[in-house]
Structure 1
Amino acid sequence: MSPLLHEVLSAHGGLERWRQVRTVRATIVTGGLLWGMKGLVQDPDPREMTVSAQSQHASVHPFGAPDQRTDFTADRITIEKLDGRTVAERVDPRASFDGHEMRTPWDPLHRAYFNGYAMWTYLTTPFLLAMPGFEVSEIEPWSEGGERWRGLRATFPAHIAGHSRIQDFYFGPDHLLRRHDYHVDVAGGFAAAQYVHDIVEVDGLRFPTARRAYRRDENGSAIHDELLVSIDITNLRFEEMTTR
């Protein structure tokens, strides 16, 4: 493990503490321009997001109807009733994005898959970087807002779904997350910069509660008049592996 990653994990609560967590739950409210580009209607209603801490699995409720939720893994996405009955299902969901561009319309399963891998990534960062199969190295720092942010570049393993195989994470002088850069491969591969704010501590772990994603220009700077996705997180809580 690189020295910077060790410092980052410690600043966010420590890997030992994280490994005691089975599930992360949170209330989320999302917005931004991306949904309209995809022909989707995005309402401001809060939803309950649940992700597994130690493996890639996620679910959001409600989805499409009050009695429906999603069930996401990297190789399968399902919309189901709360009693488990399947409403719609797609195996190998990544393949369904082949040929997509930024404004290619999405169906509900496209949206459910995107929500699943994205929110799993956000609610497990930075601890996912210590999972088996991730390759992590320090990169050149990024300066912004009067601060110098040190960077980690992560190559995701093939079995983990993400925005792109290679993603960059930037951390402030306190080693807390400031910015997350990636390409949105499921929407034509455009470059994005996501800023995080309002970090809170819950049960010894630190997470941002506001995320704002913008398109990046050719110099790597965010285009701030193009807010593609906004996510506000409240009621963050953890289910433990065992009683501490």
Structure 2
Amino acid sequence: MTSPLSEPADDVIRAALKAHGGLDRWRNVAYVSADVAFDGVAWNTKTREHPLSHARVTVETGEQRTVLTPFLGADRRSSYSPGLAAVVLADGRVERARSQPRAAFVNDTGETAWDELKLAYFTGFAFWNYLNLPFLVARPGFAVEEVAPVKTSTGTWQRVSYSFPREIATHNRVQAMYFDEEGILQRLDYNSEIFGGQPTAHMLSGYETVDGIQFPTRREIVPRDQDGTPAAGPVLIGMTFTDIEVVNARA
């Protein structure tokens, strides 16, 4: 069942949702889809046995569901929900699947390469989070708190800490968003448990308006230094988005 969205109490978040197209507009969106190209040193390490360089990603805006196609072969796609990661053939048959997929990462190290189902799980929850933000925090169960703004070379960014409800799969429970003076999301901070809890800064740029909603076309995830600032490099995971499509819910 799709979770209802409600107007957040926090002023920064309300302004940000308006700047990104408005909560009323987002309520009418069923899916977001885009072509994505991957790069980055950590990505290359984790996917070296099953390299995934390009795919089309589709996420629902209600249920936690993500599909990447093609997925490691023209006749295959990945299928994600929090309790199941799967590889599905073109005719709909499930080639392989893993229930409770997050448990498979418990003994990973920084150098552990992912199998296909780990890759399906990680890309599934990560893209669902990314493409639903910042509207994601209008769902029930999120706790939001404003923290000190940050001065940058382009102006002062408002910063918000937010915690996830347990039913949503994500990098780690408490994360942060940074919004520029126009209310546009510029940065995410999280400590990805699947990557050993490494502090990272996720930078967003190249915004485009698609059917009334703002989307970044470039995302770069870099290490976060001890003082909380993004490191100059290397880019751990880079994502470039093209051909973004918004699919509205049926009237």
Classify the TM-score, shorter chain: over 0.9
Q: 1:30, 1:42 within 8 Å by CA — same for their partners in 2?
A: no
Paired positions, count = 242
**Equivalent residue runs for 1:102-141 within 5 Å:** 102-141=110-149
Tell me the distance in 1 between the aligned counterparts of 2:90 and 2:24: 34
Q: Tell me the SS of whatever aligns to 2:127.
A: helix
Q: Does 1:71 align with 2:88?
A: no
Tell me the distance in 2 between the aligned counterparts of 1:107 and 1:42: 10
Q: 1:211, 1:232 within 8 Å by CA — same for their partners in 2?
A: yes
TM superposition shift of 1:242: 2.5
Identify the match of residue 12 of structure 1 among 13, 20, 29.
20
TM superposition shift of 1:206: 0.6
Greater share of strand: 1
Q: 1:13, 1:204 within 8 Å by CA — same for their partners in 2?
A: yes
RMSD: 1.3
Q: Tell me the SS of whatever aligns to 2:136.
A: helix
Q: Tell me the SS of whatever aligns to 1:64.
A: coil
TM superposition shift of 1:146: 3.7
Aligned residue identity for 1:74 = P
Partner of 1:227: 235
Distance 1:113 1:74, change over 3 A: same
Unpaired stretches in structure 1, ≥5 consecutive residues: none
Q: Does 1:198 align with 2:206?
A: yes
**Equivalent residue runs for 1:8-157 within 5 Å:** 8-38=16-46, 40=48, 42=51, 44=53, 46-157=54-165
* Larger deviation, residues 183-192 vs 220-229: 220-229
Partner of 1:173: 181
Q: Tell me the SS of whatever aligns to 1:226.
A: coil
Tell me the distance in 2 between the aligned counterparts of 1:39 and 1:173: 37
Tell me the distance in 2 between the aligned counterparts of 1:29 and 1:92: 27
Tell me the distance in 1 between the aligned counterparts of 2:156 and 2:110: 31
Q: 1:103, 1:187 within 8 Å by CA — same for their partners in 2?
A: no
Identify the match of residue 185 of structure 1 among 193, 213, 221.
193
Unpaired stretches in structure 2, ≥5 consecutive residues: 1-8
% identical equivalent positions:
33
* Larger deviation, residues 57-66 vs 33-42: 33-42
Tell me the distance in 2 between the aligned counterparts of 1:128 and 1:83: 32
TM superposition shift of 1:99: 2.9
TM superposition shift of 1:143: 2.0
1:170-219: CA deviations, max 9, x gaps? Answer: 00000001111101101111011011101111111111111011011111
Q: 1:50, 1:59 within 8 Å by CA — same for their partners in 2?
A: yes
Q: Tell me the SS of whatever aligns to 1:224.
A: coil
1:153-186: CA deviations, max 9, x gaps? Answer: 1111111111111110000000001111101101
